[in-house]
Amino acid sequence: MRILPRKITARRRLVAVVLLFVAMVTLVLVGLILFGPARQDEGFSDDFNDVKLEQVIAFAERANSAYHEAATFRKEYGPQVDAGEFPGSGLRVYLDHNPAGTAQWVILRGTANMQNVLDDLEFVGCDEHELGINVHAGFDASLQECLPWILQHLDQSRPIWVTGHSLGGAVAALLVATLDHRGFKDVFGITFGQPKFTDADGAAKLAHLKILRIVHDEDPIPLLPPVSLEGESLALYHHCGPEVVVKASGQFLFLKEHNAKRMNVAEIWQDLEHLRPMFHDMVKGYLPALKGALASAPHHAIRQAESPSPKP
């Protein structure tokens, strides 16, 4: 009669041990969720709704073509293209009047000399700038050199689509903001690999603009200037509006605002003169990733915050 109670006690002990183990695992998992490091892609979504991948690729192809000479660009898009060269900043601007379409295009190619432009962290102060925000002095100087030429060639009654890659993307975003401020009613921009050009207050004031930034997951340039450098905070620089992160794998992720912790770029800042990251390149990085996303999910569209874009 003593054996039976011992068997029951052993079973209960085993059940108790299993339950205790399950409880401990559950507590560890809950702790990791609540107190563990935040995921780098927190806030991302692959719920694509508004911007068509085909449209983003159309912008990307024009941003890439801005590196071509004017004769080649006109062979690609037609004789109705005006071209402007601005030696002070190194900018090249193509303005496509696009008579067969609904919108006119402004495509900006920035200088290849990142060191000269990004090395200067000075702002044009909000009291001095027409937008009433702090603006990176180098990008503002680049825009001011070409702005009179652009305004001379634009038709204010038609929609305007603006694009650019790298430093040209930063000037393109600043152009969208300037045209909006000057009363142009239908201005939309998509930039690629664009560095920052304003601060958090400026980004908040420009939040209404129809600008979508495309960044490659392995491209460090959109994270410049860095958040901090040698212990000094540079967090005053901030991106405005939503960004879409593309990956070489073909994944295409949406973020309502910039994720500054995606990559540590402090060391990159020290060697801007020789910086040529492969995934920053339109041909090697952005276009293959975008076309890979389109091939893997042709029915998907990208949710562009609350500002659906026009269709080309």
Residues 4 and 139 in one domain: no
The pLDDT of residue 266 is: 46
Q: How many domains does the chain have?
A: 2
The pLDDT of residue 259 is: 59
Quick one: 26 exposed, middle or buried, by C-beta within 10 A (0-12, 13-18, 19+)?
exposed
Residues 4 and 111 in one domain: no
Residues 68 and 200 in one domain: yes
Does the residue 311 lie in any domain? Answer: no
Specify the residue for token string 């650019």: 164
Residues 278 and 134 in one domain: yes
Residues 53 and 198 in one domain: yes
Residues 21 and 127 in one domain: no
Does the residue 190 lie in any domain? Answer: yes
Residues 3 and 125 in one domain: no
Residues 164 and 31 in one domain: no
Does the residue 273 lie in any domain? Answer: yes
Tokens of 222: 């959109």
Does the residue 74 lie in any domain? Answer: yes
One digit per residue, the tens of pLDDT, for the chain of length 312 reads 444 444 456 666 665 655 665 556 455 444 443 343 333 333 333 444 555 788 999 999 999 999 999 999 999 999 999 999 999 888 999 999 988 778 999 999 976 666 555 555 577 777 788 999 989 888 999 999 999 999 999 999 999 999 999 999 999 999 999 999 999 989 999 999 998 899 888 999 999 999 999 999 888 888 777 654 455 544 477 888 888 888 888 877 777 766 555 544 444 444 444 445 677 889 999 999 999 888 876 444 444 333 334 444
Tokens of 68: 């071509």
Does the residue 239 lie in any domain? Answer: yes
CATH of the domain at 235: 3.40.50.1820
The pLDDT of residue 102 is: 83
Tokens of 49: 């709704």
Q: What is the pTM of this model?
A: 0.75
User: Cβ distance 99 to 80 under 8 Å?
Assistant: yes
Rounded Cα distance between 188 and 138, Å, is: 23
The pLDDT of residue 293 is: 84
Does the residue 309 lie in any domain? Answer: no
Residues 103 and 188 in one domain: yes
Q: What is the DSSP string of the chain?
A: --HHHHHHHHHHHHHHHHHHHHHHHHHHHHHHHHHSPPPTTTT-B----SEEHHHHHHHHHHHHHTTS-HHHHHHHH-TTEEEEEETTTTEEEEEE--TTSS-EEEEEE--S-HHHHHT--PEEPTTTSTTSS-EEHHHHHHHHHHHHHHHHH--TTS-EEEEEETHHHHHHHHHHHHHHHTT-S-EEEEEESPPP-EEHHHHHHTTTS-EEEEEETT--GGGPSPSEETTEE-TTEE--S-EEEE-TTS-EEEESS--TTSS--HHHHTTGGG---GGGSIIIIIHHHHHHHHHH-TT-EE--TT-PPPP-
Does the residue 312 lie in any domain? Answer: no
Total count of residues recorded for the chain: 312
Residues 32 and 113 in one domain: no
| Structural domain span for residue 190 | 41-302
Residues 212 and 69 in one domain: yes
Which residues does 43 contact at the CB level (< 8 Å), separation at least 6? Answer: 255, 256, 259
Does the residue 308 lie in any domain? Answer: no
Residues 107 and 226 in one domain: yes
